[in-house]
Structure 1
Amino acid sequence: MIDIENLSKSFGSRILWSDVSFTVGRGEMLALVGPSGSGKSTLLNCLGLLDRPSAGAIRHEGKDITRFGRREIRAFRRDVLGYLFQNYALIENATVADNVKVAVKPRRSAQGEVGPTVAEALERVGLGGREKEKIHHLSGGEQQRVALARLIVKQPALVLADEPTGALDQDNAAMVVDILGEMRKAGRAVVIATHDDRVRDRCDTVFAVKESSLVSSS
């Protein structure tokens, strides 16, 4: 699905990480771990084409996506990528339903393809019946669950999650990891930047960003 080849990122004279290489296949969940400041989120942002590496390549199905132009980047984000942001990236003055509906792919809707409905996704994350509530009335944990419902509806091939359990209690954190695990079982490739040992231990593979090393998860 995604091949990272000799990736490096620097800011001026500071090298954040270098010669990073790993592969994430379909049906695999990989954890990016490392201390604060090691560049986990920056690496995740490079995979999501929100940032550019200084050197190296990121290949999706053989194509170097780091060379994509704006139109190709938009298509990649629309058709392939699902992102679970640390700050949720929701429209605060819109309703819960409207925030989830934006993930419905226009092509799928036009062709009548069957996927999880907004109501089904909200029910799965424990927010059934709350479609009409405004986002700014929800707690942080509830907003994270709305963002998760958006992923369920979109059904992306590649899921990127930035510290998805960082602000959640134990029950909500477990639900987030369970749903990401379900996406893996459905054949999605999932990459999670995390400092949470519980998340790391649920992943198939762990990449330690600081050491630039790849190990099997226990």
Structure 2
Amino acid sequence: MTTPTDAPTPSTRRSTAVITIENLAKSFGRRTLWSDVTLTVNSGDMLALVGPSGSGKSTLLNCLGLLEAPSAGAILYDGQDITRFDRRGVRRFRREVLGYLFQNYALIENASVAANLEAAVKPRRALRNSPRVTVAEALDRVGLAGREKEKIHLLSGGEQQRVALARLMVKQPALVLADEPTGALDHDNTVMVVDILREMSEAGCAVVIATHNDYVRDRCDTVFSVDTASLTTPLRAGSTY
């Protein structure tokens, strides 16, 4: 596998494995959605999950987030199979390790922008290469400076997505799962979302993105095709949108 000259060099940015997937499979009745999925997502890595609609990109992402259970295989974090966690272990894993960026935003609609971001703050050390990001700094980065007191339900869809992105910046998770995060966004917001996810990965976060967007795919370090279970390096990584 050849790394293009304008792509980030994985060996210079990756360090430790955040998630290791071993022989994972998911079936619904007699239908097998995917099987024998094996890959590792490292700190500092951006991985795109691609494949046609119905191939199981979101399902694989949900398994990583412990929203769905795989039919077989293991998902290892820090040497432990997270699919075997009890409810307490699942809550702790989601609270201390995971960050989500989904199309429905998952915000508290009757709360303020600031309240949504402050709910993500937790008493743990920031990522090694990233100082703690304040609510004001995160909102400024996503173009929502000074709008801390506004209610979520009064914001547009694109603005809500930017709040969700700012929430990730404040939380500083070790692993980000993003399900079609740019699906409803325009050109400028798509670029901003990917730029910020790239910044988080460079600070040591592992980012997994399910996407149909060629630009998003080409900005990632590696691409996993769910329907063929193959891992590749984008040919146009870092290209201009």
Q: Which of the five TM-score ranges fits, normalised by the shorter chain?
A: over 0.9
Pair 1:5-2:10 in alignment: no
1:198 corresponds to 2:215: yes
- What is the alpha-carbon distance in structure 2 between the residues aligned to residue 143 and residue 7 of structure 1? 33
Q: Using the alignment, how far apart are the partners of 1:97 and 1:188 within structure 2?
A: 23
SS, match of residue 149 in structure 1: helix
Q: How far, CA to CA, are the matches of 1:60 and 1:199 in structure 2? A: 26
Of residues 41, 44, 47, the one that matches 2:64 is: 47
After superposition, where does 1:1-218 map in structure 2 within 5 Å?
1-107=18-124, 115-218=132-235
Paired letter, 2:146: G
CA RMSD between the two structures: 1.2
CA distance in 1, matches of 2:163, 2:121: 14
Give the partner amino acid of 1:5: E
Note the C-alpha offset of 1:89: 0.3
- For each residue in 1:102-147, what CA deviation from the matched residue of structure 2 results, as whole angstroms up to 9, or x when unmatched? 1000456xxxxx6111111101100000011111111110000000
- TM-score if structure 1 supplies the norm length? 0.96
Describe the superposition over 1:53-105 as per-residue Cα deviations: whole angstroms up to 9, x where unpaired. Answer: 00000001211111111001111011111111120000111111111111000
Aligned-pair identity in percent equals 77
Distance in 2, matches of 1:191 and 1:63, equals 19
| TM-score (normalised: structure 2) | 0.87
Q: Name the structure 1 match of 2:6.
A: none
Structure 1 stretches of 4+ with a deviation exceeding 2 A read none
Structure 1 residues 3-50: Cα deviation after superposition (integer angstroms, max 9, x where no partner): 001100011111111111111001000000011111100000000111
As a proportion of its length, which structure holds more helix?
A: 1
Per-residue CA distance 1:153-195 (angstroms, 9 max, x = gap): 0000011100010000000000000000001100111000000
Secondary structure in 2 matching 1:171: helix
SS at match of 2:194: helix
Tell me the distance in 1 between the aligned counterparts of 2:233 and 2:218. 10
The separation in 2 between residues aligned to 1:107 and 1:188, in whole angstroms, is 15
Provide the residue aligned with 1:111 in structure 2.
Answer: none
Structure-1 residue corresponding to 2:4:
none
- Size of the aligned set, in residue pairs, is 214
**Match for 1:41: what amino acid?**
S
